Amino acid sequence: MVRHRGNKEERQQALRRYLRSNPFATDEELAEKFEVSVPTIRLDRLALGIPEVRERIMAMAQEARSRMRGVTAEELVGELVELQPGVMGISILEITPPMLVQPAGVARGYYLFAQAHSLALATVGAEVVLTSSARVRYRRPVYAGERVVARAMVKVVKDSTCLVSVHSRVNGEIVFKGQYIIITPDAATGGGSA
Amino acid sequence: MVRHRGNKEERQQALRRYLRSNPFATDEELAEKFEVSVPTIRLDRLALGIPEVRERIMAMAQEARSRMRGVTAEELVGELVELQPGVMGISILEITPPMLVQPAGVARGYYLFAQAHSLALATVGAEVVLTSSARVRYRRPVYAGERVVARAMVKVVKDSTCLVSVHSRVNGEIVFKGQYIIITPDAATGGGSA
């Protein structure tokens, strides 16, 4: 929680800074963070010339998608919003009703796996990518309507093998962690799956 | 490969024995195994009163599904064909074009994960099941038209935590192995995802 209710100018500067490192925050999340109403956040964005979250994501997504290798947009689970092939990638998955366990209302874990896995493959940035193994940890259940922001980082590259680490967060809180060993099989001899 | 081309009686007895431990073998797989044509296998089955693989699976599936807890048929990736809650479960996933990576024609690895994961959850047999962590290994790519038979075994149960091991095979060959730590949260305190 950031306390800026009192001073509009100060709050707007803080908002601009905050959005630079959290570009996928929704107005609702920002309102909670800055302890103001959603209409106040909208006015602040208008004053600062910052478009709403959907537009910010769409603009980033278009550029990120043009850099994808080895994974098509249809294969990717979630929406790619940032990609530096061989370095890092970010995707967002909105939890919708078909992904939920009934009656508990929490997302089936394999959706988080698929988001992280497909992002890890895209982040490697090779034309052909095979998965050798993965280790994942679920930190807390994810609920309907939550937006899962996954960030993949290429940690180690050795010959044709990459270790990609993925952290998935809801509103800044880690909900899932995964490590994927991915092979770019131009030089590979072993097994693996796409 | 089993050599029974010469003696019909002998081959039919061997076929009956083989199907007892491999009830999900297709006529094509059996023909290859016994070095005879597919029509010969069909005649052998007719003589033995053994229905074709789809019917065998459907009959088992109906019974298995009635024992499912914690996972619905829609949530299960693949078709459940055997289930002893708390002990073991088997499901079959047919690899269809939407699961493939183009142009390589191999299945995206997260489908194998989802099949094994949802089967592991069903095998635990509790009303509410959460996943804490998983370790998986991909042994070889899986291709269009292949049938992946996953077998889950509950290996360890301690308080509210289960270790479920899943081996997935195509035509007897292991293509994927997974270990899932699953919590039945009536007694749980930690995180996890459904």
| Helix H or strand E segment including B79 | strand B79-84
Binning pLDDT at 50, 70 and 90, where does residue A161 land? very high
What pLDDT, in 10s, does the model give residues B28-82? 989 999 999 999 999 999 999 999 888 888 888 887 888 888 788 778 899 999 9
What domains can be seen in chain B, in order of their start residue? 8-50 (1.10.10.10), 65-183 (3.10.129.10)
Q: Does pLDDT of B22 surpass 90?
A: no
Quickly list H helices, chain A. Answer: 8-21, 27-34, 38-48, 53-65, 109-124
Determine the average pLDDT of the residues in A91-104: 86
Say what the pLDDT of residue A2 is: 53
Write out chain A residues lying below 8 Å of B114, CB-based.
110, 113-114
Q: Rounded mean pLDDT of A122-128? A: 90
Output the six-digit token pair for A191: 């097994």
> How many C-beta atoms surround the C-beta of residue B10 within 10 A?
13
Q: Which residues pair with B143 in a beta bridge?
A: B106
Contacts of B107 in chain A (CB under 8 A): 193-194
Structure tokens at A3: 């306390």
CA A81, CA A24: separation in Å to the nearest integer? 9
CB < 8 Å to A104, chain B: 128, 194
Q: CB–CB of B142 and A193 under 8 A?
A: yes
Structure confidence at residue B188 as a pLDDT band (50, 70, 90): very low
Q: What is the pLDDT of residue B194?
A: 64
How far apart are alpha carbons B33 and A76 in whole angstroms? 38
Q: How high is the pLDDT of residue A3?
A: 54
Mean pLDDT of A151-165: 94
For residue A76, give every residue at least 6 positions away whose Cβ sits within 8 Å of its Cβ, in sequence order, or none. Answer: A68, A91, A118, A119, A122
Mean pLDDT throughout A52-76?
82
Mean pLDDT, chain A, rounded, equals 87
Q: Is the pLDDT of residue A77 over 50?
A: yes
Q: Tell me which residue of B125, B121, B116 sits closest to B85, measured CA to CA.
A: B125
Q: Is residue A107 pLDDT above 50, yes or no? A: yes
Look at residue A178 in the predicted model and tell me its pLDDT: 97
Per residue in B75-107, pLDDT tens? Answer: 889 999 999 999 999 999 999 888 888 777 889
Q: Please check the confidence at residue A166 and state whether its pLDDT lies above 80.
A: yes
Cβ–Cβ of A110/B113 closer than 8 Å? yes
Question: What pLDDT does residue B190 have?
Answer: 46
Task: Please judge whether A193 and B75 are an interchain contact, meaning their C-beta atoms are less than 8 angstroms apart.
Answer: no
Nearest CB partner across the interface for B106, out of A108, A134, A193: A193
Chain A nearest CA to B181, separation (Å): 9
Q: Report how far residue A108's alpha carbon sits from residue B169's, in angstroms, rounded to the nearest whole number.
A: 24
Mean pLDDT of all residues belonging to chain B: 87
Kindly report which listed range (B54-68, B162-176, B179-193) carries the lowest average pLDDT score: B179-193
Q: Is B191 a residue whose pLDDT tops 60?
A: no
Query: Taking 60 as the threshold, does the pLDDT of residue A85 lie above it?
Result: yes
Question: Residue B187: what pLDDT?
Answer: 46
Residues B22 and B16: their CA atoms lie apart, in Å, by: 10
Chain B closest CA to A69's CA: distance in Å?
12
When mean pLDDT is compared over A105-109, A128-132, B104-108, B166-170, the highest value belongs to B166-170
Tokens 């909670």, located at residue? A32
Which of these ranges, A10-19, B15-24, B141-150, has the smallest mean pLDDT? B15-24
- pLDDT-based confidence at B150, cuts 50/70/90? very high
CA B108 to CA B106: how far, in whole Å? 7
Antiparallel, parallel or unpaired: β B130-138 and B173-183: antiparallel
A-to-B residue pairs, Cβ atoms closer than 8 angstroms: 116
Alpha-carbon span A95 to B23, nearest angstrom: 38
- Between CA B105 and CA B100 the distance in angstroms is 5
> CA-to-CA distance for B110 and A113, rounded, in angstroms?
7
* Residue A73 vs residue A130, higher pLDDT: A130
Q: Which pLDDT value is given to residue B193?
A: 65
Cα atoms found within 13 Å of the Cα of residue B43, Cβ hemisphere only: 8
Round to the nearest angstrom and report the end-to-end CA distance of chain B.
Answer: 42
